[in-house]
């Protein structure tokens, strides 16, 4: 059973989703606008959000960015838009999955189950998994539970994706991680291009006070992957 927020302005679709999810023993709340969704997420804890893009007050893509500013709750995009470039952009902006309307309730259930498994896999007995313990690599200290990273005691201003990338690499210090694995584990994508990773690495390097030409923590092995290790 999961706590689900349905963000959908079409009353027919909204009612059908609520009925199906309730029949499946989920606890469901629903809203019809982006601003209502932001207010609900800020006030109520959810396990997953199902987000339509064609909302009357704010495009769902913008709503997704705003949601990512306040929460890491898994978000499944549900929309009639099927442009591949937009799908990639939304996944890069923080969506956890994407469903194109019309879709069956069985398809939605399977996608929800997969997203919830990934989310719940991070917690174990007692509520704290090993991967949620503080990570230290040289002068870097990364707190996965608070989603904070410090370099030599100074708090870093990281985006959600930058933090996820840094934490993923910090769990494997000195190990070269293939770009394909980064896409699968950090971006939750089975496809994409190297430019996505390169851009985020560039931003992350800047915040770590280094460059590709003069790396301190982040080292790229051309054609192989990326590794994080403390300065020599």
The per-residue pLDDT for 192 is 62
Strands 177-178 and 154-155: unpaired
Closest among 133, 186, 134 to 163, alpha carbons compared: 186
Residue linked to tokens 């009357």: 56
pLDDT band at 151 (very low <50, low <70, confident <90, very high): very high
Q: What's the pLDDT tens digit per position in 89-111? A: 888 888 888 888 888 888 888 88
Backbone angles phi, psi at 69, to 5 degrees: -80, -15
More confident residue, 145 or 131: 145
Q: What structural domains does the chain harbor? A: 3-121 (3.40.50.2300), 130-228 (1.10.10.10)
pLDDT at 153 over 50: yes
What are the angstrom distances between the C-alpha of 214 and each of 6, 10, 106, 186, 232? 47, 53, 51, 25, 13
Q: Where are the alpha helices (DSSP H) in 121-174?
A: 160-170
pLDDT band at 51 (very low <50, low <70, confident <90, very high): very high
pTM exceeding the 0.75 threshold for the entire prediction: no
What are the angstrom distances between the C-alpha of 220 and each of 85, 97, 230? 27, 28, 14
What are the angstrom distances between the C-alpha of 52 and each of 18, 75, 158, 223? 14, 10, 27, 38
Strands (E) across the chain are located at 3-7, 27-31, 48-51, 75-79, 97-100, 135-137, 140-143, 148-151, 154-155, 177-178, 218-221, 225-228
The per-residue pLDDT for 180 is 85
Q: What's the pLDDT tens digit per position in 175-220? A: 898 888 888 888 877 666 667 888 889 999 999 999 989 999 999 9
Q: What's the pLDDT tens digit per position in 52-77? A: 998 999 888 889 989 888 888 899 99
Length of the chain: 232
């Amino acid at each position: 059973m999961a706590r689900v927020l349905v963000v959908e302005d079409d009353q027919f679709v909204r009612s059908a989703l609520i009925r199906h999810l309730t029949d499946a023993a989920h606890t469901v709340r629903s809203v019809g606008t982006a601003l209502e969704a932001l207010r609900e997420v800020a006030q109520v804890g959810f396990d997953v959000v199902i987000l339509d893009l064609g909302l009357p007050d704010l495009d769902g893509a913008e709503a997704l960015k705003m949601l990512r500013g306040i929460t890491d709750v898994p978000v499944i995009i549900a929309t009639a838009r099927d442009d591949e470039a937009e799908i990639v952009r939304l996944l890069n902006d923080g969506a956890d999955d994407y469903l194109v309307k019309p879709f069956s309730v069985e398809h939605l259930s399977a996608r929800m189950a997969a997203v919830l498994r990934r989310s719940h896999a991070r917690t174990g007995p007692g509520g704290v998994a090993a991967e949620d313990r503080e990570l230290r690599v040289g002068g870097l200290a990364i707190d996965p539970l608070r989603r904070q990273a410090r370099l030599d005691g100074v708090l870093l201003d990281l985006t959600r994706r930058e933090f996820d990338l840094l934490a993923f690499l910090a769990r494997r210090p000195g190990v070269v991680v293939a770009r394909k694995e980064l896409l699968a584990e950090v971006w939750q994508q089975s496809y994409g291009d190297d430019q996505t990773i390169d851009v985020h690495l560039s931003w992350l390097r800047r915040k770590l006070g280094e460059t590709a030409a003069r790396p301190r923590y982040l080292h790229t092995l051309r054609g192989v992957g990326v590794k994080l290790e403390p300065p020599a």
